[in-house]
Amino acid sequence: MLKKTLIGTAIAATLAVFVFGKDVFSYATTSASSMREAVKSEVPLEFEIERARNLVGNLMPDIRHCMHVTAEQQVDIEHLTADIARKDAEIGRQKGQILALRNDLAGGGETFVYASRTYSSEDVKRDLATRFERFKSAQDVLGRDKQILVARQKALQANQKKLDDMFVAKQDLEVKLEQLDAKLKTIQAAETVSELEIDDSQLSQAKQLIKALNRELDVRQTTLDNEGKFTGLIPVDAADVVPTNIGEQIDDYFGPTKTEEEPDVIRIEAAAL
């Protein structure tokens, strides 16, 4: 199976070289880049924001490690500071003893008594020489310890600054993520409003269609009414009905006629005579 796969891959590569020639690698890299961009464009923004949030959250192990290193340095500095203080006090004590012996020798005595024991001036000189060498060695050690302390304090300050910067950077990224999430929700809300506007346009079209249908139905109803008026003045199937009081109706409508007014005039003239 593996052999067939390798043979197939070799054949495909050979065909690609044959078709594209020297540009096969350019086509391959361009195709791969296009595929990556296409795949990336299909990833939802919500997923990308969540991925960024996970990346920011993954900063915490580095921050905790830096905090642990800083704590160790703080403890080491505290111990070294206490040790330097102890050595400094010891050197001060040794200095006092050396000066005391030096003053005793300066007095010109041949013997000296210390702690109920008698020492010759040569014994005191040898002891003083030994003490002085140890004193200078202790001073050198103390000087190196102080240099180490200064270096560790500088390293601690650097790590503290790094830790502070990491905290500030993480908080800044969290703020930017919240802003990005809020911006995405704002855009999504705007897109929803835009979709609603499209729906409103469709609703307007539906209203116009219903209005047009109502107009068509009104036209049809009016046409039927008009047809009824033209054919319904004298119903064909209805029996002829002559009103019995047609004269009275006419008199009521037009008032008294001229023939009826003349006798009244004659009666008025006769009465005057």
Say which CATH number the domain at 94 has. Answer: 1.10.287
Q: How many domains does the chain have?
A: 1
Q: Is pLDDT at 232 greater than 70 in this prediction?
A: no
62 found inside a domain? yes
**Cβ proximity of 87 and 138 under 8 Å:** yes
214 found inside a domain? no
Averaged over 157-174, what is the pLDDT? 90
Mean of pLDDT over the chain: 77
84 found inside a domain? yes
152 found inside a domain? yes
CB-hemisphere CA count at 13 Å for 206?
6
66 found inside a domain? yes
Residue-wise pLDDT tens digits, 4-56? 555 555 555 555 454 545 555 554 565 555 555 554 556 687 888 788 888 88
Residue-wise pLDDT tens digits, 13-23? 555 454 545 55
Percent of the chain with pLDDT over 70: 67
Residue positions counted in the chain: 273
Q: For residue 115, what are the domain limits?
A: 44-186
Q: Is pLDDT at 185 greater than 80 in this prediction?
A: yes
10 found inside a domain? no
120 found inside a domain? yes
Confidence of residue 151 (pLDDT cuts 50, 70, 90): very high
57 found inside a domain? yes
pTM for the model stands at 0.51
Query: Helix H segments across the chain?
Result: 2-20, 24-41, 45-57, 59-106, 121-231, 246-254, 258-272
